[in-house]
Structure 1
Amino acid sequence: MQLYSFFNSSTSYRVHIALGLKGLAYETLPVNIRVGEHRAADYVANINPSATVPALVDDDFKLGQSLAILDYLDQKYPEPRLIPLEPLLRARVLEFAALISCDIHPVNNLRMLKYLESEFKATQQQKSAWYRLWIAEGMAGVERMLARSNAGPWCFGAQVTLADVCLVPQIVNALRMDCDLSSYPRSLVVYEHASKHPAFEAAQPQRQPDYVA
């Protein structure tokens, strides 16, 4: 199994966590999105037509988009299951994951920040203000969801789920961007708990082969 990823990509980070939780052996193949390697013709034609990271190769099956990859891994390698089978809990976990993956991440990823700079001449200060605005909007929703459902130590009780796999990389990115997360104590408790787990620790950006400080 191979994972095409970039060390600072939160979507790649999600898949690293899931692969570690499931104890699956894989090779990391770095794709430097800062210099446009994800747009290389060979990569787009033969690995990931969406021209993004991550991309998973499992034998002759190739798949992009982190949530699709995570669902695939859950179906083929179900232990531990990250997307619960019980309908109500499954719905809550997917609701939580969607808030992060659909509402927070897309407006704050590298592609968006570069566009703000190239097309609107946004300064670093303006880009940081943009990033922090959407972190605050999204994390407030995350915190309300945890207030409704969280029983600890993970987002939805005693078992790690897709919710935790999505939350931790988002918090790591927010901290990297100097966002003040003190208003989200429930989220930080989950983050601190997850950070001690070997699979989450091994998936950290600084532990990836393409890491650059």
Structure 2
Amino acid sequence: MLKLYTNYRSVSTHRVRIALNHKGVPYEPVYVDSDAGEHLKMEYLWLNPQGLVPALVVDQNLIITQSFAILEYLDERYPERPLLPEDVRQRAKIRSFAQVAVADMNPLNIVRVFRYMRDQMQVPFDARRKWFEHWAHKGFAAMEWMLAQEPEQDFAFGMSPTLADVCLVPQVHNGLATGLDLSDYTNLRRVYRSCLSLSAFQAAAPETQSDTLKS
């Protein structure tokens, strides 16, 4: 069975949980407590030398880090209920949309960035909050525009979830959980609501994870 090293606050791990659920792939969650420094212990650094989650242990010879690499592995290894369509042009559009969240938004607005700003740079809370809101809105505005170019459908790029939805939902959830005003993003909120009607997305939500319930 696959083993997923996870933390409920991790947006990156949230998207991997969605994909695993969507494809019906069983896995064993291993909760990494970053507040207790478990991500920096040598036994975890052997799995992921960056000291980040997620890490997906497939077997003793394959450990995958970086959420996007994990998502693409899952889609190739478990082709049922695909997250990317066959059409090459549509695949490119979906990847472009997903990477706004994965490559542009998420790296700027994660816990380790804010801890460094606070502890090493003495950046006050209000300035850190302004940083978060600026980059979050930049990303959401771009994705809203991209969706506005598409026909209005249940999900971002069609009538079933794709990689775009898997990457969008954790970012929107994080924005809402931190009090970000998303009222201007009509298309994003529409897609988000459609996704949350599905059990795969519901079961992956941070508030349903065992390490959330223990915190």
What TM-score range do you get, normalising by the shorter chain? over 0.9
How many residues are treated as equivalent by the alignment?
212
Question: Cα distance 1:150–1:5, how it changes in 2: closer, same or farther (>3 A)?
Answer: farther
Equivalent residue number for residue 68 of structure 1: 69
Equivalent residue number for residue 154 of structure 1: 155
SS of corresponding position for 2:35: helix
SS of corresponding position for 2:172: helix
Equivalent residue number for residue 112 of structure 1: 113
Stretch moving more, 5-14 or 30-39: 30-39
**Alpha-carbon separation, structure 2, partners of 1:25 and 1:42:** 24
What is the Cα deviation at residue 150 of structure 1? Answer: 4.6
* Structure 2 gap segments, 5+ residues each: none
* Structure 1 gap segments, 5+ residues each: none
SS of corresponding position for 1:149: coil
Equivalent residue number for residue 194 of structure 1: 195
After superposition, the C-alpha distances for 1:2-35 in whole angstroms (9 at most, x for unaligned) are 1000011010000000000000111110011233
**Alpha-carbon separation, structure 1, partners of 2:51 and 2:87:** 34
Normalised by the size of structure 2, how large is the TM-score? Answer: 0.95
Equivalent residue number for residue 31 of structure 1: 32
**Alpha-carbon separation, structure 2, partners of 1:11 and 1:137:** 19
**Alpha-carbon separation, structure 1, partners of 2:54 and 2:151:** 29
Equivalent residue number for residue 4 of structure 1: 5
What is the Cα deviation at residue 201 of structure 1? Answer: 0.1
SS of corresponding position for 1:48: coil
What is the Cα deviation at residue 55 of structure 1? Answer: 0.6
Aligned residues of 1:4 and 1:30 also touching (Cα < 8 A): yes
Normalised by the size of structure 1, how large is the TM-score? Answer: 0.96
| Superposition pairs of residues 91-130 of structure 1, within 5 angstroms | 91-130=92-131
1:141 is aligned to 2:147: no
What is the Cα deviation at residue 121 of structure 1? Answer: 1.3
Aligned residues of 1:4 and 1:28 also touching (Cα < 8 A): yes
Equivalent residue number for residue 54 of structure 2: 54
**Alpha-carbon separation, structure 2, partners of 1:34 and 1:191:** 29
What is the Cα deviation at residue 125 of structure 1? Answer: 2.1
**Alpha-carbon separation, structure 2, partners of 1:113 and 1:167:** 21
Query: Could you tell me the percent identity over the aligned residues?
Result: 39
Amino acid at match of 1:204: A
Aligned residues of 1:6 and 1:210 also touching (Cα < 8 A): yes
SS of corresponding position for 2:127: helix
Aligned residues of 1:50 and 1:64 also touching (Cα < 8 A): no
Give the RMSD, CA atoms, in angstroms. Answer: 1.2
